Amino acid sequence: MSEEISEVKKESAWERFDNKMGAKHPELWKILKWMAVGFIANVPELGVYMLCLHLFRNVASLGVFGFMAKIVPENDKYGLATVIYAYMISTVVGYVIAFILNRKATFHADSNMALSTFFYVLMVCLIIYTNGIIGPLISSLVGRLPLPMSVTEPASKFLCMMAAGLWSYPINRFVVHRKKKEKAQVSADA
C-alpha cells in the first residue's frame, strides 16, 4: 500500500492551479506567467543597475578600482558611459534570470537546450544593443523632468525594460522556448 502511495506524485496547490489555468486560457496564462517572471527578474536587474551607477559614478572617482578608470572616460561630463555600462550589465543579469525561470516555469520548454540558448543569447544581444541606444536617450529625456535623480534613473530603466518586453515575448514564446509536439499529437496529425 505504501509503495502505491509513494509512486503517485501529489500535485501541489500551485501545480493544480497552473494546470487548471493552462487548460482554460493557455495563451493568456503564458503571457501572465511571462510577465510575472519578468517582474521577478526585473527586481534584481534594477538593483544591479542602481549598484553599477553608484560604483561607476562614486567609487571610480575615488580611484579605488583601477579598472574603473579604464572603462569610464574622464571627459564623460554627463555620465553617458556610466549609464551605458550600467544598462548593459544589468540587462545581462535580468535576462539570465528570466531565461532560467521561463524555460520550465512559463513555457515548459523541452526543445534542444543548446539551440534555445543560442537563440536567447542572440535575442539578448539585440536587446542589449537597443537598450544601449534607447536607454541613454530615455534617461536623458526623463532626467530633464523636475524630479530627483533617485526617481528619474529607475523610471527610465523601467521604461526601457517595458519597451524591450514588446518584442521579447513573441521571440521567447515562438522561437526560444519551444515545446516538442507530443508523440500522440504528431501521429494524429499524420
Global confidence as pTM? 0.67
Please check whether residue 77 lies inside any domain of the structure.
yes
Q: Which helix (H) or strand (E) holds 2?
A: helix 2-7
- Whole-angstrom CA distances from 11 to 33, 94, 100, 179 are 19, 30, 22, 22
- Contact indicator for 65, 126 with CB cutoff of 8 Å: no
Among 158, 101, 99, CA closest to 131: 158
- Full domain range(s) for residue 96: 26-179
Q: Is 131 inside a domain boundary?
A: yes
Q: What is the Cα–Cα distance from 88 to 125, expressed in whole angstroms? A: 10
Cell numbers for 62, please give them. 575615488
CB 164 within 8 Å of CB 131: yes
Q: What pLDDT is attached to residue 61?
A: 63
Are the beta carbons of 128 and 85 closer than 8 angstroms? Answer: no
Tell me whether residue 86 is in a domain.
Answer: yes
Residue 6 lies in a domain: no
Q: Which residues contact 99 (CB under 8 A, 6 or more apart)?
A: 117, 120, 176
Number of independent structural domains in the chain: 1
Does the residue 121 lie in any domain? Answer: yes
Q: Do the domain assignments include residue 1?
A: no
Is there a domain that residue 16 lies in? no
pLDDT tens for residues 70-112?
A: 655 666 655 677 777 888 888 889 888 999 999 988 888 888 8
Distance CA 99, CA 86 (A): 20
Amino acid identity of residue 5, one-letter, is I
Spatial distance between the Cα atoms of 173 and 25, rounded to a whole number of angstroms = 15
Per-residue pLDDT tens over the stretch 138-181:
888 888 889 888 888 888 878 887 888 788 888 998 899 887 76
pLDDT computed for residue 184 by the predictor: 44
Q: Are 160 and 83 in contact (CB under 8 A)?
A: no
Residue 7 lies in a domain: no
